[in-house]
Chain A
Amino acid sequence: MHSTTESFQKNFALFEHSLNGESELPLHQLRRRSLERFSTLGFPTTRDEDWRFTNIAPLAATQFRPILVSEPHSITPAQVAAAGYAGQSGQRLVFVNGHFAPGLSQLGEVGNGATVSNLAAAIKADAAAVEQFIESLPATKPDTFAALNTAFIRDGVFISVPSGIIIEQPIHLLFIGVATSEATVAHLRNLISVGENAQATIIEEYVSIGGGGNHATFTNPVTQIAAAPNATVNHYRIQHEQELGFHIGTFHATLDRASTVNSITFTLGSAIVRNNTSAVLAGPGAHCTMDGVYLANETQLVDNHTTLDHAAPNCTSHELYKGVLNDRGRGVFSGRIIVRQDAQKTDSKQSNRNLLLSDTAIIDSKPQLEIFADDVKCTHGATIGQLSDESLFYLRARGIGLAEARAILTYAFAEEVVEHIAIPELRDYLETLLNTRLEH
């Protein structure tokens, strides 16, 4: 495995070179420390408990070319509109191969002192603030990929909403990976801070556009959200990249007193996807919803690892993950709920439901509760099953073909999560995406 961590080290030297004066900043020391950390940790193998079911050997064996500076591309606004969600008129930040593409983005006036910019610009403006934010990502578990991301921090999104400001329109972040004649990698970092009593909605979408090649793209994003007291953040993550892609995404939210973070993750694409989703409920009375839908067809592997860490009293959390596994698809779910000793009156509910549609699909589900407080209500449930024969019969008796009946029922299964989407246009968009995926 070491050969590949070495290839990333070589990449780092090139990367360092491309930074020019920026490598003098203290932020760069953080990058270097993270690279060291990454090299010490190495790529995980299936012998690591957290990666028991997810073999990333194909990823570790690939040499990726770093895209150090924004390269010219031929992507047109029409292609962008066709590739991703286009249902609304607010802010849209488009990134191509890990670099901000201002020409394709829509940057309107957000006003009221809110900042919505790309991270590279934010580093130029105030590197110290960016560094401080990055460091707030808790390193409780050694995570190779988060360390790798930090080592290559360059671009991404920086959003800061001041106290009391409500941003009505969702902010759409579109990350495009262009499959070329080489395997490429993008390390994106998204920092989102929402102030006291403020509200924001973020749509984070990952797509691929063919660029005259069919090589693997590796997307390794890290998104951090800090919700101040009483803030509300709605976060949607939609991943439908090309079938040769690797996607290892980290999402971490810190919730202060009485804040709310709702996170919904849709995983539809790539060969291997791993979502590390975690939230710390650090202030009393916070609420976190963590929902997800994952589909795995052909030989796809989708792995969702979630952690809900209740560190303060009177917090609630609600988690619902639904998986549809078809063909030789493989699903992995690991949901951890930790209730710390001080987190009395916690109310936490987790459920993971899986639908196996073929003989060769596999699911490994691992819900976990770790509870250190006594006055809590915690439940988790996991089910694995297939479409009910009665329901199929009911539909077929009404003249609906078998394939269509299965698609309807599968769609209805996933719909439970889609329903939770508050934006009608986005809900329609996802319904269409799901339907297209389920129909074949």
Chain B
Amino acid sequence: MSTDLETIQHVTESEYKYGFATDIDTEAVPPGLNEDVVRLISAKKGEPEWLLQWRLKAFRHWQKMEEPTWHNVHYPPIDYQSIIYFAAPKKKAKSLDEVDPELLEMYEKLGIPLNEREALAGVAVDAVLDSMSVATTYKDKLAEKGIIFCSFSEAVREHPELVRQYLGSVVPHTDNYFAALNSAVFSDGSFVFIPKGVRCPMELSTYFRINAQNTGQFERTLIVAEDGAYVSYLEGCTAPMRDENQLHAAVVELVAMERATIKYSTVQNWYPGDKEGRGGIYNFVTKRGICAGRASKISWTQVETGSAITWKYPSCILKGDDSIGEFYSVAVTKNYQQADTGTKMIHIGKNTRSTIVSKGISAGFGQNTYRGQVKVAKGADNARNYSQCDSMLIGDRCGAHTFPYLEVSNPTAQLEHEASTSKIGEDQIFYCNQRGISTEDAVSMIVNGFCKEVFRELPMEFAVEAQKLLAVSLEGSVG
């Protein structure tokens, strides 16, 4: 079994390659949270009164709430008064040419060129650093079609009526502890609006980066697709290696009207902490979409390899008749990472369908939990759900847990849930070895095969990135 031990060592030793910090002049508010901080954030961003009032309402509600404890993750209590709630690069750029070269270089290093000419063909990027959106590419080209793709602050300035209409409509400020906190102090994020009948010609993408020390990142994304619209949106995240834990509490809201389709893909690679479990991002995210119109569709795809703690449940409220919800997830935990992730599919409309495919991989001391809910309301005739949750364990110190909730109040519903747990079989490795494939490649191949169902849902460039990311994450893993 010595190879097993080596494997575990290898797995725990693979390094985080986005761990550098960039020296950029940032402007930050002092740590701590009170109404003045909320007012200050709002004032700094020059927000209208209604938004400030909304934030304050959320903040007052948050103060009355208690941090949830039902999840299967363990961490020392978070001191919400020692976190910096707002940090932004000092130099404000008016256009791409004016963006701080240090910044551009940093994004270059991350493999996210903000320079339009070099950008991946057909991907428009909004880059968010700490609390501020620093650059958005291809804006003009998208504007021609009537598509709005900009930072959240800009949307508040330019399209207040849209923001006001949809903000908090899917995730209200009272939703949960972290969503309430986000509603009070959210700094920036992306705003996407696809008008009626428009198919977004390129992938939209936001790149989130935490850079400053001791800060929390609280971004908010709002995507609205009007009747018959289509959009595919990608999200990526990284953070520097630091010994203390940083908090990331984001909220994502999706609204799909009649026949609209929103595809939301995430490759989350926040700093996971070192091999002793020190540092890393606490990722407490609320993501929810509503299929408001008939025959609309929301599809979540996520590849979660980073964060010390991942706590997120991208959900679909299937309100419109014939609407479709999908959730594809790969979650990898190694070292001392913990993930408690899954989805909620809430069937309200008739003939609604949902699919859940979740793949969890645990290595080292990682703990991976799938927690999902499929709820069929009384009026949701002919609702259909298929769920599949597979777990793979690499090493004998890790854990894989599954907690699905099926709640059905309509007899015409058909639900299926399946879960399995396995490890990479010695016979599989032997088979590959015999054919001249090294053990390491064999593991990578088997793991990739295990995750294939999810990867194939990702847009092409992302699928390649995700596969590489997985290979790095599980470097040297011999089952």
Nearest 3 pairs between A and B by C-beta?
A356-B411, A374-B393, A365-B406
Q: Chain B residue with minimal CB distance to A367?
A: B404
In the complex the two chains form, is A369's CB within 8 Å of B423's CB?
no
Residues of A within 8 A of B391 (CB): 369, 371
**Residues in B70-85 with C-beta less than 8 Å from chain A:** 70
Residues of B within 8 A of A344 (CB): 396
In the complex the two chains form, is B411's CB within 8 Å of A359's CB?
yes
A368 to B410: give the CA distance in the assembly, Å: 23
In the complex the two chains form, is A368's CB within 8 Å of B415's CB?
no
In the complex the two chains form, is A364's CB within 8 Å of B406's CB?
yes
In the complex the two chains form, is B406's CB within 8 Å of A381's CB?
no
Q: Does A79 contact B (CB under 8 A)?
A: no
Q: Does B412 contact A (CB under 8 A)?
A: yes
A349 to B278: give the CA distance in the assembly, Å: 37
Q: Does A386 contact B (CB under 8 A)?
A: yes
**Residues in A14-69 with C-beta less than 8 Å from chain B:** 49, 53
Residues of B within 8 A of A367 (CB): 402, 404, 417, 419
* Most chain B beta-carbon contacts within 10 A, residue among A354, A368, A376, A383: A368
Q: Is the interface of A mostly helix, strand, loop or mixed?
A: strand
Q: A49-B70, A358-B411, A386-B411 are in contact. Are A371 and B421 (CB under 8 A)?
A: yes
Q: Chain A residue with minimal CB distance to B388?
A: A381
- Which interface class (under 10, 10 to 19, 20 to 34, 35 or more) fits B? 20 to 34
Q: Does B430 contact A (CB under 8 A)?
A: no
In the complex the two chains form, is B406's CB within 8 Å of A369's CB?
no
Q: Does A439 contact B (CB under 8 A)?
A: no
* Interface residue ranges, A against B (CB under 8 Å): 49, 53, 341, 344, 354, 356-359, 361-386
Q: List 9 A-B contacts (CB under 8 A).
A: A361-B411, A363-B408, A364-B408, A365-B406, A366-B403, A371-B399, A380-B417, A384-B406, A384-B414
Select one of B398, B399, B418, B423 contacting A381, CB under 8 A.
Answer: B418
* Interface residue ranges, B against A (CB under 8 Å): 70, 378, 391, 393-423
A365 to B408: give the CA distance in the assembly, Å: 8
A362 to B411: give the CA distance in the assembly, Å: 8
Select one of A362, A379, A382 contacting B404, CB under 8 A.
Answer: A382
Residues of A within 8 A of B418 (CB): 379-381
A394 to B268: give the CA distance in the assembly, Å: 52
Q: Chain A residue with minimal CB distance to B383?
A: A384
Q: A356-B411, A383-B416, A385-B415 are in contact. Are A377 and B422 (CB under 8 A)?
A: yes
In the complex the two chains form, is B420's CB within 8 Å of A386's CB?
no
In the complex the two chains form, is A381's CB within 8 Å of B417's CB?
yes
Q: A374-B395, A379-B418, A384-B413 are in contact. Are A364 and B405 (CB under 8 A)?
A: yes
Residues of B within 8 A of A374 (CB): 393-396, 398, 423
In the complex the two chains form, is B414's CB within 8 Å of A370's CB?
no
A231 to B423: give the CA distance in the assembly, Å: 32
Residues of A within 8 A of B423 (CB): 374-376
A214 to B152: give the CA distance in the assembly, Å: 65
